[in-house]
Structure 1
Amino acid sequence: MTFLDDFFVRAMIGGLGVALAAGPLGCFVVWRRMAYFGDATAHAALLGVTLALATDLPVVLGVTIAAIVMAIGVTLASGRTYAVDTMLGVASHGALALGLVALSLLPGVRIDLSGFLFGDILAVSRGDLAFIWGGAIFVAGLVVLRRSTLLLSTLNEELAVSAGVNPARERMILTLALALLVAIAIKAVGVLLITAMLIIPAATARALSRTPETMMVLAVLAGAGSVVLGLEGSLHLDLPAGPAIVTAAVLLLVVANAARIVKARARR
């Protein structure tokens, strides 16, 4: 496919793949108030980079392992000795700091951290596209197929138990999906911007939606719109691509809320 020879086309396709996965998953993150959990999992990605460099594993595999271990560890430890928000704060900042320290201690390793922190979507390769879209389809499909049980356990855990749903299992499914999203998105938007792509499109969709299903669809569309607008802005205004995508997402959020306010006033 010769059109994939264009780096900008590959960037656009890769970004749309991230939006496909982040949209429905981000809705559950918003409903469950798990934004800080996303931060902790994303920051663990730097530990995964260190693991990959130290063991000659592919970076994507190292990131996936670290994100899954962090997500499961925080899930199991939260609510015991410390409150959930305390554990997430420790995990988030601790993982980021440990990752940076560990990278500095690796002998003979010199890497550009800005690519991992802020992403380098313009450098996405064909192999990256296969991984991004394969992971995105899996994550989006998993969340959509289990939306009923996930939503029930999100709204009322006692009701979920009475209906035969295991809330702990549903939380773990979300946790693993979130870890996989971190792995597929790190190349596109980087560690520091992954949570933004989860939360902001979902928040935009929430301002315009009446049903959970509508919100998930609109979250995907808002994420896709952010990718298109951000990359076009990056191309024409010479902006860094990852931050430009998140800035576009914020602008869409502002427009969505302005439209909601105008519509509410018109009904009065």
Structure 2
Amino acid sequence: MAIKGVLLDIAGVLYDGDTVVPGAIEGMQALRAAGLPLRLVTNTTRQPKRMLLDQLRRLGFEVAEGELFTATEALVAYLVRERLRPLLLVHANLDEEFAALDRERPNAVVVGDAAERFTYPRLNAAFRLLVDGAPLLAIATNRYFGEADGLSLDAGPFVAALEYAAAAQAILFGKPAPAFFQAVLNDLGASPAEAWMIGDDVEADVNGALVLGLRATLVRTGKFRTGDVERISEGGSCVADLSEAVQALLKVSNGA
């Protein structure tokens, strides 16, 4: 079946920190030259959409605002729709995404990668709300992410701790949630079989996409670790980087 849309993870696939992954810009250009619609999808919770767009453009990637999908956007839309008042466990950079919401007398808990904001008093306040019945809303549940000096804990371990303590089940808004992938597919006007996901996270990017029926490729950049290859679900693939993934994708798209 023809490819009608490509989903690209950002951090670790397009860039590492402030360094462009070799071949990433050329890979995106090749996809555009082939006429394939792109959507950049990310669970990143240390930067609002505005900062992500600025960074991508500063590094040389041409990206329209409508091509970038963030898990935070999906969660904020849910808060507005359900008229929820969040207690935020998020990074300071992300505060602006929630600025328009009522946060008095919170009745929901929102968790992202809060970094130094993951203090005992803040976690305990969240725990008490959850015990009283507030929903636990996770922007993402990634276990870790890559930084210049090595891997760092992401939001997932803290979501799991709150789930365990409060006997709660988090609602997930980012990858690998099927609803997140489906929202991107709806925007592309593509079925799962007509879309291809490329990422560096075997669980959130690759296996999450495969569950919904997308094709998916893991790249050996970013947070990739050797053992990840054995964890790829049936139907997934693994290549060196985005440039090689694009070559394979274009062969399929061209019927080679």
Report the TM-score when normalising by structure 1: 0.24
Structure number having the greater helix percentage: 1
Report the TM-score when normalising by structure 2: 0.25
Structure number having the greater strand percentage: 2
